[in-house]
Amino acid sequence: MDFLVLSADDARKDGLASEYILGLISFLTSLLAGVFGFGGGMLLIAILPIYLTPAAIIPVHGITQLASNASRMIFSWEHVQWNLLPKFLMGSLLGVVLSLLFLSSINTEFIPIAIGFYIILNIWSATFAKIMTRYESYYIIGFLQTGLGMFVGATGPLALSVLTKELKCKDEVVATSSVFMTISHLAKVPVFITIGFSLKSMSVTVLLMVIGAIIGSFVGTKLRNKIANKALIWVIKALLTLMAIRMIIMVIVN
């Protein structure tokens, strides 16, 4: 994680036009997340290498996702289950501290496989879900999602798989998940500052992507309200499963 202060030319590949394209892409991926509660961040980070150099991808992605999740939280404020927040927040703080102290020296290559199998079993195996209910804790979920999120992508579905099982309202699931993801992405900001990433060199790109993310969250929230509750919960479970399978396959292939 050795980032340098980037010049505008170093950070962008294709000039001014790419900034507006990235703003549009940010809108579309945030809209997707606004409807389903996840997926937009994964799609965005898969596209960013086309337009940004490697050193800029993680910081720009993190800032954009922070805007996407925070705005989605605000637009769904009344549906957030705030009683779950203190436990998740405490776990997240511990996860950040321990990850910075210890996880940098641990091989995290196969962690996505464990996450993938956990998501699949937790959603579709009643026996596994019943067993895990005895041990599942939002302290642990916060610790894993935020702590591992510093090094491993796609940890957000950890909390979403539990929320989908515990909460029966689609708006509560998406809104509460957005709060958790806001905390996880916010925790990365001190890391970006420490490694010396300069927002000044990327100000136009980041601004357009943040604006796109906020508008996408608003439109996605409105579209979510037009989809039946049971149908959307089923779609979320199906997409989580496909994402988990992809995580497992990508590690094995690579």
pLDDT in tens, 173-224: 889 999 999 998 888 777 666 656 666 778 889 999 999 999 999 999 998 8
Contact 42, 238 (CB under 8 A): no
Angle at 170 between CA 89 and CA 182, to 5 degrees: 30
**208 within a domain of the structure (yes/no):** yes
Q: Is the model's pLDDT at 49 over the cut of 70?
A: yes
Residue 212 in domain:
yes
Please state, rounded to an integer, the average pLDDT across all residues of the chain: 80
Does residue 92 fall inside a structural domain?
A: yes
Question: Is residue 42 one of the residues assigned to a domain?
Answer: yes
Average pLDDT over residues 29-46: 83
Domain of 27 in residue numbering reads as: 8-253
Q: What is the pLDDT of residue 191?
A: 66
Look at residue 3 and tell me if it is in a domain.
Answer: no
Q: Flag whether 245 is in a domain.
A: yes
Q: What are phi and psi of 12, to 5 degrees?
A: -110, 150
| Distance, C-alpha 128 to centroid of its chain | 25
Q: How far apart are CA 208 and CA 28, in angstroms?
A: 13
pLDDT at 127: 86
How many other CB atoms sit within 10 Å of the CB of residue 90? 14
The count of structural domains within the chain is 1
pLDDT of 132:
67
